[in-house]
Structure 1
Amino acid sequence: MRRIYFLVPDIATTNRIVDDLLMAKIEERHLHVLAKRGTPLEDLPEANLLQKSDFVPAVQQGLALGGTAGLLAGLVAVVLPPASTVIAGGVLLATTLAGASVGAWLSGMVGMSIGNRRTKEFEEAIEAGQLLLLADVPADRVLEIERRVKQHLPEVEIEGTEPNIPAFP
């Protein structure tokens, strides 16, 4: 799946685009609209915490850093005497898993309190009243979906495509 970002000037146009994407068999759970606080979105699929915050990238970074720190701590524990070979494997595994878990949890908590880095560049436009539509589409349908959007809004500029999005948000 790839995430496509594009700005839409008003709710009526956004409704038409979302309806067209639904007709193109893009599920509603793969469409997300970000708007200025207080904007009534009517039946549009509003972006949730996973799209508005930096939760997912923060968890990924925390998992990697915590796992690395846990592995290093395990290696230090194995090098210190009295370590036997049988226990060493268990210690390495346990400290790596513990470090990865704690890192992911702490980073996720921090990430939820930080705005999404990818949508920061659109903040001015959103505050000016535009809507940011995020569409998660299969990689082989990106060009088709971009063409469908341009039928409704010829002057739209596709603001970018994320190479991969996580499966769970």
Structure 2
Amino acid sequence: MRTSRTIIIGNSGSGKSWLAERIARRHDAPWIDLDRIHWQADGYNLPRDRDQAMALTKTAAAGDAWVIEGIYGWLVEQITARADGLIWLCTDEQECVANIRRRGKRNGATAAGFEALLSWSSTYRSREGSSSFTAHQRLFDTFTATKICLRDREEITRFAGE
């Protein structure tokens, strides 16, 4: 998969950041984590204004090369027309929860916030909204450029090595 503007979507804990960092480094491209756009600088407690988040996402995608990753389908929808590649990490919820536990709290998350993230990750296929399995499936199905769906840690690791 040789693309210069790649989007990576998937559940919390699926490995989006891990994979994005490796792809960005390999292609000498910026890596943009949509968590840093969606949430204000003090962690995962206060979302940014929706219009501001959309503007920041569009600005990030204005360049010639980038890797943008995140769970937020409503932000991803803002940039799919600029992307030439889409990777969907469609891993099992239990694997995602285990990955989150392994990496621990990040970006100033509280204990309660960490537990909420674990719970959130476990509902990927049952929840609704733009960060759900169903929304990601729709993004993947309607994306017309190069795309790939990776379903487990082994596939993701193998893809990262290629």
Higher share of residues assigned helix: 1
TM-score range, shorter chain: under 0.3
Flag the structure with larger Rg. 1
